[in-house]
A and B are shown apart, each in its own frame.
Chain A
Amino acid sequence: MTIAGVEPRNVATPADVGELAAAVRDLYADGKPFAFVGGGTELELGNAPRTLDTVVVTTACNRVIDYAPEDQTITVEAGMTVAAVCAVLAEHHQFLAFDVPDPDRTTIGGAIATNAYGRRRLRFGPIKDNIVGIAIVRPDGVVAHGGGKVVKNVAGFDIPKLMVGALGTLGAVVSATLRVHPRSEHGAAVALRNLTAAGVLRVCADIVEAALVPTSIVAFDDGGERYDCVVAFDGFRGGVDEQVRSMTGIAERLRCDASQPSPAELELLEARERSARCEAPWRVHLGAAPTKLAEFLARNDMAGIGRIYYPAIGSAILTANALSAATIERWRSDLDAGTVVVNAMPLAARGAIDAWGAPPPSWPIMRQLKANFDPKGLCNPGRFVGGI
């Protein structure tokens, strides 16, 4: 196992949260740098750790602590996989809106630490909107909680939010109370084809104008400059049917080719989305206000670059077999008020490219936060934004 190319000296697999906290406490006391790993699906994310003694694997901490279907919440240990949680929820016709590409391997803790994102974020919000409470093991081995078990709660600082996307640099998430959603009675999708980036954005604008409520909007490059855009709806049958009709009307007005894709076709597109997010040697995650991202995609040469584009969220994943540091740099200076994060790159490129780009203006506060949580700088050192 390597983290962004760095191999640890040891791998620890604590059997439960108590053992995990004890292991961390010992590592911290001994001054040994460490990192946490869940299912290991995002080990390429971030910069190479400056130094690494031990990887602490969380997957043995995988119990359901409490499931309250009538409250639409579940509390689980963070080493449980997303698929395992969803299997428990399915018994009560509920699901977790964590859209990870590899749910059989991705753990809850890993999804939180990496701020996993996906198509249904449009409707159910980002991961941080779906966490109501958390337990962490701090870098010094202390167990601490934030939030609670109820869906509405403003007592104390929102520690759960702070752990989302922190890549385990403030400690390990060891359990979380998650908001879950009822499964829909019915789902359907409409595919609109041969659109430019501006055309995709126009579709989104018309969807908003019509006050439709899609679950997801995903645009796939068609191998060239254009996109095929899939808009999905879920809910009670009558509402879904009405929205599909409205969507067909929007397509007609925009004079674009639209149809309801077959299940096989949808499966194929989802497989493509998964592979782009898990397998491509270069994976670059763009984020910007929707109009700015559409303009960026329209003005930059995208020949040879795969695009999974979430237009209404303002997010896209660009994939390629080869990219240069100069291209990443150009994109970063071109994408106004946006983020260009290199989620994966070949080992040889790592020296020349910072995975995150320039830190934001609030970085001094982040650096202080890190210093307060991890005064010895032992927890996943150097992997995060600005060398944190």
Chain B
Amino acid sequence: MAAVSDFIAIVGERNTITEGSELRTYEADGLPGFRVRPAVVVLPETTEQVAACVRLARALGMPIVPRGSGTGLSGGALPVEGCVVIGLSRMKAILEVDLPNRRMRVQPGVINLNISRHLAAAGYYYAPDPSSQSVCSIGGNVAENSGGAHCLKYGFTVNHAVGATIVTAEGDIVSVGAHGGEPDTLGYDLMGVFVGSEGLLGIVTEVLVRILRTPQATRTIFATFPTTDEAGAAVSSIISAGIVPAAIEMMDQLAIEAIVAATRVDWPLDVGAALLMDVDGVAAEVEHTADAAIAALRAAGAIEIRSPRDDGERALMWKGRKGAFAAMGRISPNYYVQDGVIPRKEIVAVLRDIARLASEAGLRVANVFHAGDGNLHPLILYDGRIPGQEALAERVGGEILKTCIRYGGSITGEHGVGFDKAAYMGDLFTEDDLATMQLVRCAFDRDVIFNPNKVFPTPRLCGDRPGIYHPHAAELAEVAGRG
């Protein structure tokens, strides 16, 4: 195949995958249930190689699907028929650490947690901490605008990734955002819109991130409640009292059961919900904030409030929380992760609605989520061996999203729209809103070669006006696909 040899000429044979079990790895990402075989996978090692691959794919009329570690849960890195997957996992160098300006320049394949590990001895860290941080890459974080537990206080990837080198749809290498650590850049905030663009606007090959000084003190508080009602009310009362913890995570009874089964945490099983909370900052401030938070927890009806005995126990508690999705395997053969957002004051009402939806469907739903931001992660448990259960679980997931929208929330807080939720975008945004986003997309990628069929419900090529869909010539020639 001529195309393959051309890609080999750019990245070398060992960085080109065309068959076998290795190719199968790239047929899916973290979104279960969907597999598409790409035509070829390339793993470039330099920005120039990425650019050459994009130019080649463009010349060949192949769609391009960028990929980081492949941990995404919305199918953002799911291949499309006939595409080249450009994987960035071999670009994992830390290029520059600038402590005086608290900036760091890294390649996109660097694993999120490795940034903080690299900085730990110097007393600095990188704030966004998705639960997959030990395996997800910073390039993927930029594409998805990844969050994490500690976003509540410190913000998301978009608040920390301040500049990037990107390869455009034309195969040009362009710097967007800050390139030298300047606080503002001239012109439109292209970096602001690039972060979270889910691989539709370009491929990131270098990222400039802000790094933070490790706080003087951190206090972790664990509290249990009779039901999610009291736990939800506790979250609302903490936020509305003006207390700003670094993180507040909620786990319901099922989630606690799974976590206890999977780890060595000694959390009680006979409670309805638990909150895990971090308070950090200047030592005296932390003491005061923690005391105020504990008073709020107590007033909301906490059964037990405790703090870890030492750093080891603290790490174990957080490991339990961050490993919660994987722990579901202990209590269910399969599970379907949902990601929705609601106003924080609505937590109690929405959790009740979710419980009702689950019981009507005859399925169990575990809840483990970023309560401080109102970012829900219902885990819909099902048994894939029972015919119809998977589809039922998906249907319940969809109903949960519609519930989030009804309460004034969003269909995704951090996992992205990707392939999974494109169909729901029309419930959240008007036709004009989506057309406006297309104006942005087409400024970066006129021919829609990056990640077609993702994010937007109706594929539309640039220059089309809203209205009846007309297939583009490239699509008729089966070069570009439709979802």
| Chain A interface (Cβ < 8 Å from any Cβ of B) | 68-73, 93-94, 115, 117, 121, 125-126, 128-129, 136, 138, 142-146, 148-159, 161-162, 164-166, 170, 182-183, 205, 208-213, 235-236, 238-243, 287-292, 313-315, 336-339, 341, 356-357, 359-363, 365-366, 368-369, 371-373, 384-386, 388
Contacts and interface: CB of A to CB of B under 8 A. Distances in A.
Contact of B159 (A71, A125, A369): A125
A68 B412 CA distance: 21
A341 B370 CA distance: 40
B180 to A, nearest CB: 2
Interface string B299-310: 000000000000
Contact of B425 (A156, A165, A361, A385): A156
B20 interface: no
Given A159-B440, A365-B190, 5 more contacts: A154-B144, A157-B196, A209-B213, A365-B174, A386-B187
Contacts of A146: 433, 436-437
B261 interface: no
21 contacts: A150-B342, A154-B156, A154-B415, A156-B428, A156-B455, A158-B158, A161-B158, A162-B193, A211-B213, A211-B216, A239-B284, A243-B282, A287-B182, A314-B182, A315-B184, A338-B182, A361-B175, A362-B175, A362-B187, A368-B444, A372-B440
A363 B187 contact: yes
A152 B193 contact: no
Contact of A372 (B287, B370, B443): B443
A292 B285 contact: no
Contacts of A144: 430, 432-433, 435-436
Nearest to A341: B186
A338 B415 CA distance: 34
Contacts of A183: 242
A384 B185 CA distance: 13
Interface stretch (B39-47, B81-89, B95-103, B469-477): B95-103
B112 interface: no
B443 A365 contact: yes
B277 interface: no
Q: Nearest 7 CB-CB pairs, A to B? A: A337-B180, A239-B285, A182-B242, A161-B192, A289-B181, A144-B436, A369-B443
A292 B181 contact: yes
A336 B187 contact: no
A165 B62 CA distance: 36
A226 to B, nearest CB: 21
Given A290-B101, A369-B440, A385 B285 contact: no
A55 B301 CA distance: 57
B288 interface: yes
- Count chain A CB atoms within 10 A of each CB in B182, B187, B283, B409 and give the residue with the most: B187
Contacts of B409: 148-150, 153
Nearest to B173: A361
A387 to B, nearest CB: 11
Interface in B219-262: 236, 239-244
Interface string B195-216: 1110000000000000001111
Contacts of B412: 153-155
Given A126-B184, A373-B439, A161 B189 contact: yes
B417 A156 contact: yes
B440 A152 contact: no
B312 to A, nearest CB: 23
A71 B343 CA distance: 6
Contact of B181 (A69, A94, A314, A359): A314
B322 interface: no
- Count chain A CB atoms within 10 A of each CB in B344, B370, B374 and give the residue with the most: B344
A142 B430 CA distance: 11
Contacts of A149: 343, 408-409
Nearest to A92: B240
Given A154-B416, A211-B282, A368-B443, A159 B437 contact: yes
A288 B242 contact: no
A143 B151 contact: no
- Count chain B CB atoms within 10 A of each CB in A152, A205, A336, A363 and give the residue with the most: A152
Given A149-B408, A338-B180, A372-B439, A158 B288 contact: no
A300 B188 CA distance: 29
B29 to A, nearest CB: 16
Contacts of B416: 154
A161 B145 CA distance: 13
Nearest to A361: B175
B187 A239 contact: no
Nearest to B434: A156
Contacts of A369: 188, 439-440, 443
A338 B286 CA distance: 36
B91 interface: no
B100 A236 contact: no
B158 A211 contact: no
